[in-house]
Amino acid sequence: MVENRLLPYGVKDYYPSEVRKLNLILSSAEKELTLWGYEEIKFPTLEYKKLFETTLGENLKDGFLLKECEKGEILALRYDFTPQILRFVLHSKEKIFPLRVYYKGRTFRTNRELWEELELGFELVGAQTVEADAEVLAIVKGILKRLKVKDYTLVVGHRVAYESLVEKFGKFAVDKKRFSPTLKDFLKTYPLAGEKWQNLPLPQGVKEELSTLLDLLKSYQIAEENILFSPSLKPEREYHSGLYFKVVGKSGTLAVGGRYNRLFERFGESLPAVGGGIKINNLLEVVSKRATPPKRVYIIDTTPSKGEGWKLAKLLREKGIIAERDIVTRDPHRSVKVAKEKGYGEIIVIGEKIEGTLSAEEFLKRLEG
């Protein structure tokens, strides 16, 4: 047994069962995004420290830093994807809008439980209309549907609504949800498809955007599905403007996003943008094992030559079915237990009959049927 800890704090290993779900999350998200016309872009892991500090408006004391060899400038491991999106758009030679892109990779920060996290996000740049916001929400719900995640709530907020409450009641009272008779109605959440939120004394522009959003979501046939409006919802990022959202499930936040026109305005660009990000580690906890690819079989061959097991595995792999063979000398009942521990639902035993398993003939017949 290893007594000293070999893995640094703040990082983790992903076991095969987690990696299968992780790959499913990524492939499902990429498939949904591709169908909406989004294309993948890739960013470097290293950037100048000042890019993150200038864009995010904060001192990068929680980042992983190193010195550039030639010029001596300070570099940082990717702290956040948004500054890279900003740099990419501002430096692009061909600006054809609307721009639809997505990206995946790791970010590195010491101010969270996991210092290294895998993230996936997507951006729609160059579209000011509420239809762009509706598109982002529809994509998030489409990804969750592909992953068979149902027990969640999508909460929508609006920067102008939030700021109007802060101006009237104070930031502390709004952020801490401090109850008062005059504030209580603004601390509630309201079904977006309902009418109660429309009676609140909110800025007219907010109501108009929410009404337009509702109409668009109805056209996507998702308006009735667990979408709430929270007038006091605090924006995730300081640069969020207009509509923004948070998806909350049993394991915590599953996705966030919203409009961030303010970010480009800092750099003198009048460029509308909206995007979303998937919280992969939280999704890992709610995506069912049954959602992983079903065609995975474990083959146990108890015959002396093992030839039948090799032939069957080769045949199944040619059909695109994952076939793992048991090649350890042990009691076949123990091998069946190991296969179940590995998450295999279909186990083939050649040479003898064991309860709860299939023969090669039974599996092939089921496959053909």
Say if CB 123 and CB 278 are below 8 A apart. no
Containing domain of residue 323, as a range? 293-368
Give mean pLDDT, residues 288-304.
79
Among 266, 289, 312, the domain boundary falls at 289
Per the domain annotation, does 6 fall within a domain? Answer: no
Identify whether residues 331 and 219 lie together within a single domain. Answer: no
User: What single-letter amino acid sits at 302?
Assistant: T
Identify whether residues 218 and 244 lie together within a single domain. Answer: yes
Identify whether residues 307 and 215 lie together within a single domain. Answer: no
Q: Cis before residue 98, ω within 30 degrees of 0?
A: yes
Say if CB 289 and CB 304 are below 8 A apart. no
Report DSSP letters for 173-200, one per residue.
Answer: HHHTT---TTTHHHHS-EETTSSGGGGS
Identify whether residues 284 and 313 lie together within a single domain. Answer: no
Per the domain annotation, does 1 fall within a domain? Answer: no
Per the domain annotation, does 7 fall within a domain? Answer: no
Q: How many residues does the chain have?
A: 369
Task: Determine the pLDDT at residue 164.
Answer: 97
Per the domain annotation, does 2 fall within a domain? Answer: no
Residue with tokens 């995640």: 149
Q: Which helix (H) or strand (E) holds 104?
A: strand 99-108
> Given a cut of 90, is residue 135 above it in pLDDT?
yes
Mean of pLDDT over the chain = 91
Taking only the tens place, the pLDDT of each residue in 40-86 is: 999 999 999 999 998 888 788 889 998 876 777 899 999 999 999 99
Give mean pLDDT, residues 295-315.
92
Q: How confident is the model at residue 339 (pLDDT cuts 50, 70, 90)?
A: very high
Q: How confident is the model at residue 327 (pLDDT cuts 50, 70, 90)?
A: very high
Identify whether residues 238 and 359 lie together within a single domain. Answer: no
Q: Which helix (H) or strand (E) holds 305?
A: none
> Given a cut of 90, is residue 171 above it in pLDDT?
yes
Least confident interval from 65-69, 110-114, 149-153, 320-324 = 65-69
> Given a cut of 60, is residue 291 above it in pLDDT?
no
Identify whether residues 226 and 326 lie together within a single domain. Answer: no
**Which of these, 158, 298, 174, lies nearest to 241 by C-alpha position?**
158
Identify whether residues 95 and 236 lie together within a single domain. Answer: yes
At 68, which CATH number?
Answer: 3.30.930.10
Per the domain annotation, does 91 fall within a domain? Answer: yes
Q: Which helix (H) or strand (E) holds 276?
A: strand 273-278
Identify whether residues 220 and 274 lie together within a single domain. Answer: yes
Per the domain annotation, does 319 fall within a domain? Answer: yes
Cα dihedral across residues 214, 219, 220, 226: positive or negative: positive
Least confident interval from 30-44, 100-114, 291-305 = 291-305
Q: How confident is the model at residue 173 (pLDDT cuts 50, 70, 90)?
A: very high
Among 289, 316, 345, the domain boundary falls at 289
At 319, which CATH number?
Answer: 3.40.50.800
Taking only the tens place, the pLDDT of each residue in 149-170 is: 989 999 999 999 999 999 999 9
> Given a cut of 80, is residue 94 above it in pLDDT?
no
Task: Determine the pLDDT at residue 284.
Answer: 92
Per the domain annotation, does 4 fall within a domain? Answer: no
Task: Determine the pLDDT at residue 122.
Answer: 98
Q: Which helix (H) or strand (E) holds 337?
A: helix 332-341
Give mean pLDDT, residues 31-44.
96
Taking only the tens place, the pLDDT of each residue in 240-287 is: 999 999 999 988 999 999 999 988 888 888 899 999 999 999 999 998
- Structurally, the chain folds into a number of domains equal to 2
Identify whether residues 166 and 305 lie together within a single domain. Answer: no
Task: Determine the pLDDT at residue 2.
Answer: 52
**Which of these, 134, 154, 99, lies nearest to 259 by C-alpha position?**
134
Percent above pLDDT 90 for the chain? 73
Among 262, 289, 316, the domain boundary falls at 289
Per the domain annotation, does 357 fall within a domain? Answer: yes
Task: Determine the pLDDT at residue 230.
Answer: 97
Three-state DSSP class for residue 42: coil
**Which of these, 193, 35, 155, lies nearest to 102 by C-alpha position?**
35
Identify whether residues 256 and 305 lie together within a single domain. Answer: no
Cα(first)–Cα(last) distance of the chain, in Å?
49
Find all residues with CB under 8 Å of 357, minimum gap 6, and list them. Answer: 300, 336, 347, 348, 349
Identify whether residues 203 and 248 lie together within a single domain. Answer: yes
Identify whether residues 131 and 198 lie together within a single domain. Answer: yes
Task: Determine the pLDDT at residue 4.
Answer: 67
- Of 320 and 183, the one with more pLDDT: 183
> Given a cut of 90, is residue 119 above it in pLDDT?
yes
> Given a cut of 90, is residue 295 above it in pLDDT?
no
